[in-house]
Amino acid sequence: MNVHHTLFREMVAEKMDEQTKKRIGLVPLSDAGLSEREKQLWTSAVHCYSTMFAGRRLLFDDQLITFNNSLGRQKDPQKLDPSGLPEDFVRCLENASAIYKRHWWPEHQKANEQFIAEMRPKVDEFGPLVIPHLEHFFGMQWQSPLQVDVTYYVAEVGSAYTTEYPGHTTVASGRDDNHGLPGIETLFHEGAHTLTDKIASALWDECKRQKKDCKDLWHAVQFYTVGAMVKEALAADGAPDYVPYAYGFGLYELGDWPKFRPAIERDWQPYLNGKSSFDEAVSNLVRDVAL
């Protein structure tokens, strides 16, 4: 999986203009230390990914989701089982694997293991506190087991994403924002994507009824709800000053989210406080979104 996500990330970087790479801080891997033959093989593997996947998203592309799930089921980390995978995809991975393992894997493996060691006890501690609340407020059951794979790179927004049926989260250890207290929220946020069908459908239906295009209001509500539940759990554990992710990283300042925030705080928070019903909160929220 680490070879796959590294190649995908390098393909994305190759297609991106220099100004955009500088803006988002995307620095391609250095080929310093590679032999000329290794450079040729690595470049060929990246180009192979460009041929197969250019312009496609890990989160939304059915084939890439299938590949990621298949790689996540691999039993032997030293040998790829090609069953069910296209020959050209397998060839890309196998051509790049030895080079990746020799030059980048030791650092990436160390980061992955440190991330797991940091986060596993936090998930074990806070899961029983956070997950039942999320199930209650979203009105759905957490997909269990939810597989979580850690790779050094994940070329998606926030360097993490979750696909469903089966539930599968892939999160990057190489992104600083995914560590510490925000990292705890990120993991629960990703898992909560398996709980959002009901709230998303309810909001879309209500937006249609009120003749509003609410875009990704459901995602803003998800961020707010998970942030509130994680903040509550951390406060009980002696960290009362935690700032939820969407506030701390300025998500409510982007796109339409500045229009969402006041309505969410005014109409969704009472629902979390037990002072309004789900249906009332949805109706009032859509009514008050300034679109």
> pLDDT (tens digit, 9 = 90+) per residue, 15-24?
888 877 777 7
Whether 52 contacts 58, CB under 8 Å? no
pLDDT of residue 192: 98
**What is the average pLDDT value for the chain, to the nearest integer?**
95
Q: How many CA atoms lie within 13 A of 181 on its CB side?
A: 20
The single-letter code of the amino acid at 78 is Q
Report pLDDT for 77. Answer: 79
Question: Distance between CA atoms of 264 and 253, rounded to whole angstroms?
Answer: 14
d(CA 261, CA 268): 10
Provide the pLDDT confidence category of residue 239 given band limits of 50, 70 and 90. Answer: very high
For 160, the 3-state DSSP assignment is strand
Q: Is the pLDDT of residue 188 over 80?
A: yes
Read off the pTM: 0.94
User: What is the distance between the alpha carbons of residues 220 and 253, in angstroms, rounded to a whole number?
Assistant: 11
| Segment 222-230 mean pLDDT | 98
Segment 38-97, tens digit of pLDDT:
999 999 999 999 999 999 999 999 999 999 999 999 988 788 999 999 999 999 999 999
Of all residues in the chain, what percent carry a pLDDT higher than 70?
A: 100
Q: Among residues of the chain, what percentage have pLDDT more than 90?
A: 90
Q: What is the pLDDT of residue 172?
A: 98
Kindly report, residue by residue over 247-272, the tens digit of the pLDDT: 999 999 999 999 999 999 999 999 99
For residue 76, the SS3 value is: coil
